[in-house]
Amino acid sequence: MAQAYPKIAYSKIGGPKAWAPGDLRPEDWRLGIPQAAVAELGRAVAALKAADAKLPAPKPADFDLGLCADFAATMKQRLETGPGFVVVSRLPVEDWGVDGIRYAWWLLGSLVDRPQPQYIEGFWLYDVRWLGDWDADDEQARRLRDAEIKAHTDESLKDVGPRYTGLLWAAKARAGGNSRVSSCAFAHDLLHDERPDLLARLYEPFLFHPFRPVDPNAVHWHPVFRRDGSHVRCQFARDYIAGGAKRWDRPLDPAGAEAIEQFEAILERFALDFPMEPGEFEILDNDLITHGRSQHVDWAATKQRRHLMRLWLGTSGSPYDGPPPPL
Ligand SMILES: [Fe+2]
């Protein structure tokens, strides 16, 4: 028998993070890092290069980074009480090189919140790039090589995930690959008004499973939207939910399938879409702001290929107490 879902789960989220692209002015989310802060970072980068330091050892407190700390406070204010994301120009990747920018990005991110290890491998800084065989035809190759990445929050799989996601463009693709940012709060509130039945379903659990290596027997079962007091947390990746249904051979219920499809369609339709230049970075509130990327055409030569560096900063979430279905 089909499960009945309540007509409406919760009130609207509202506030400055519930935006459509037309609501935002560039100055709400675009920031320029002061040159004096870049100079501070440059001195730290030189020292870390000389020491051949390894992540996660470098700490902001080991350097004179007062102006960077002030700038990180400005970024955090936009993340907390502004639109929930910032796009920052720019670090001199051409001067510092890929190794140098790695240190600078790590230190700046650490000033926003404590970096978290990523995936079961525990990467402190994850290199998003495809260096494999150009003609490879597996799913991960396609995804990294050129595919559009739909709106998602990072680590939607787990109950506890990063509070903020940061992506720095160390090198860009030959063409395309724009950054796309959307508001889960806006999409939530639109469903609240137009399809409260679908919104209610998003407060009920789904099975999640990714395409990347994970414990194959771990069951990831939780809602897309959760509330803890006044804090709202969205965990969304349509391909992970499709992966959960496939992994456990439990096809999505009709309401669940429609809710996921419509939620993603709203996020895609109301995405802010903009190019990123090498040395620019974005930091997002991973609880309410999704990110994605338009399709790109990469360079054939591996040393030229698109290269993003991802940081996960801080933590958010708690265990979901609903028991999973018998599997
Ligand atoms: Fe992501």
The Cα-based distances of 151 to 111, 183, 266, 267, 303 in angstroms read: 27, 10, 10, 6, 28
C-alpha 43 – ligand 1 centre gap (Å): 31
Q: In the predicted model, is pLDDT for residue 1 greater than 60?
A: no
For residue 9, the model assigns a pLDDT of 64
Q: Quick one: pLDDT at residue 101?
A: 98
How many angstroms is it from 166 CA to the middle of ligand 1? Answer: 9
Phi, psi for 223 (deg, rounded to 5): -75, 170
> Could you read off the pLDDT of 42-79 as tens digits, one per residue?
999 999 999 999 999 999 999 999 999 999 999 999 99
Check: CB of residue 75 under 8 Å from CB of residue 112: yes
Closest among 264, 273, 270, 269 to 295, alpha carbons compared: 273
Residue 160 CA to ligand 1 center (angstroms) comes to 16
Distance CA 156, CA 101 (A): 28
Ligand 1 centroid, distance to 123 Cα (angstroms): 14
Structure tokens at 53: 């330091």
> How is domain 113-317 classified at the architecture level of CATH?
4-Layer Sandwich (3.60)
**Is residue 281 within a helix (H) or strand (E), and if so which, with residue range?**
strand 281-285
| Closest alpha carbon to 179 in 56, 294, 26, 35 | 294
Residue 127 CA to ligand 1 center (angstroms) comes to: 12
- Per-residue pLDDT reduced to its tens digit, 239-272: 999 999 999 999 999 999 999 999 999 999 999 9
How far is ligand 1, taken at its centre, from the CA of residue 156, in Å?
A: 9
**Cα-to-centroid distance, 180 and ligand 1 (Å):** 11
Ligand 1 centre to CA of 62 (Å) is: 30
Confidence of residue 90 (pLDDT cuts 50, 70, 90): very high
